[in-house]
Structure 1
Amino acid sequence: MVLTDPITIDGDERERIYGYVEAHGAVDTRQARRDLFPQDPHGDPQHERAFRHNVAILKRDGYLEEGEDDTLRIAIDLSDEREEFSADDVDVTIRPASQEDLTGIVGAIRRVVEEMTSIEAESVADALDHEDVLLRHNDVESRMFFVATVDGDVVGWAHLHVPKLEKLSHTAELTVGVLEEYRGIGIGSGLLDRALEWALENGQEKVYQSVPSTNEEAIAFFEDRGWTIEAVREDHYKLDEEYIDEVMMAISP
């Protein structure tokens, strides 16, 4: 299943199963059955077969996948291609993120927000903390992440949010960031390139973001890579009792 594909699931019980898994990120198959159908007698072979049949159909149709540890998660058709490079004696991997990266991504976002103002990134971290789910694909939104890792630890991220509202479905909102000690060696550019490549492959015609005018480093970074300033909203943010302009930037992948 591609994150931009429409969701067309036949059957109320299958819709409930998919919705439960999508909202929880990764769930134990047995726990999902207990939570979704508490009225069914535990261990009843007939009810167990019916549940397993619905899961099998969702897997067949590309909506769910099940790991060897009996964990269900939404099946997202992502390239497993990893970009690996070395710079300044640092070995970096850039790849699609998974639910297991959630804690590392939130931690990286929080650290970057402390170092430089990023209102949108802070909002993303708050949403992840609240939902405890990384990737989303439902009738309202799709949410995609790429990560940069060093020795298995997340040191940077790129996030794309795609609304399902038809009038905006050709667009995607971006946040991207790298921990301060890993900047200047190509990680930010690599994450940005990977995010824009994904947006292009999935039919997004415009990628946009908002940056506080005080974040001059970020504005220069994006302008150097072809992004344009579409508008400036004066005094849009209020930070420490000071009003800050919002710089709205965009690019066509």
Structure 2
Amino acid sequence: MRIEEKEFIVNELQYRIRSAATADAKALSEVRLQVDGETENLDREPGEAYIDEAGFKRIIEDDAASSRNLFLVAEADGRIVGFSRCEGNSLKRTAHQVEFGVGVLEAYWGYGIGKNLLKRSIEWADGNHIRKMTLKVLETNKKAILLYEKYGFEVEGILKDDKLLSDGKFYNTVLMGRIG
């Protein structure tokens, strides 16, 4: 599904959030790879589960055609600097929910990009009869957990020793959900 584009100015950075287009596929492949290398808050090491340009084109086309999926990009300084995705399905027992995921380039942290991608996704979900949004977040990502709680997400569970990070230690993943 697609949404209307919206502009933001935060700390003198102007950016816009819009639906992903197939022309974004190459840039999204590069941004996702870079984001994976900038933080351990996500599931992947750089290069793992790599999605190339053709793969992103398919995802974007499928999401645009689906009433249960939403793929957004944040664009600043003439380039894509972040993205988010809500992924649902058509199974009758779970068609009322979507899973949210987000990534923002480290150089653009602190400008509300992740927050605004989340807010736009919640607006879309609430306006399209999606009853529940879920997400997974690393227990050490306290800032993200606080943001999600601010927007109505609650902790629903913990996956113990779920992620092995570069320090050789295992960390828990927090499962959160929001019922709209």
- The TM-score, its normalising length taken from structure 1, stands at 0.60
1:116 aligns with 2:39: yes
Shift of the alpha carbon at 1:82? Answer: 1.7
Per residue, is there more helix in 1 or in 2? 1
- Partners of 1:242 and 1:187 in 2: CA distance: 30
1:131 equivalent among 50, 55, 58: 55
Bigger radius of gyration, 1 or 2? 1
Deviation string 1:150-169 (CA, Å, 9 cap, x unpaired) is: 13301111111112221111
Shift of 1:137: 5.2
Q: What is the CA RMSD across the aligned residues, in angstroms?
A: 2.8
Verify the 8 A CA contact 2:69 2:98 in the aligned structure 1: no
- Sequence identity, in percent? 29
Q: CA deviation at 1:148?
A: 0.8
CA distance in 2, matches of 1:137, 1:145: 6
CA deviation after TM superposition for structure 1 residue 128, in Å: 3.5
Q: Does 1:223 align with 2:135?
A: no
Question: Hey, what does 1:194 align to over in structure 2?
Answer: 120
**Pairing of 1:45-194 with structure 2 (within 5 A):** 78-79=2-3, 81-120=4-43, 126=49, 128-129=51-52, 131-132=55-56, 133-135=58-60, 136=62, 143-194=69-120
| Higher relative contact order (CA closer than 8 Å, sequence separation 6+) | 2
Q: Distance in 1 between matches of 2:72 and 2:44?
A: 14
Render the CA deviation track for 1:36-91: whole Å, top value 9, x for unaligned.
xxxxxxxxxxxxxxxxxxxxxxxxxxxxxxxxxxxxxxxxxx34x22112222221
- Equivalenced residue count is 174
Q: Which residue of 2 aligns with 1:53?
A: none
In structure 1, the partner of 2:169 is 242
Q: Deviations over 1:165-202 (max 9, x none)?
A: 21111110010122222222222221111111111222
Shift of 1:120: 4.7
TM-score (normalizing by structure 2): 0.81
Question: Residue type of the partner of 2:148?
Answer: F
Give the secondary structure class of the aligned counterpart of 1:192.
Answer: helix
**Against the structure 1 CA distance between its residues 105 and 84, is the aligned structure 2 distance closer, same or farther, given a 3 Å change threshold?**
same
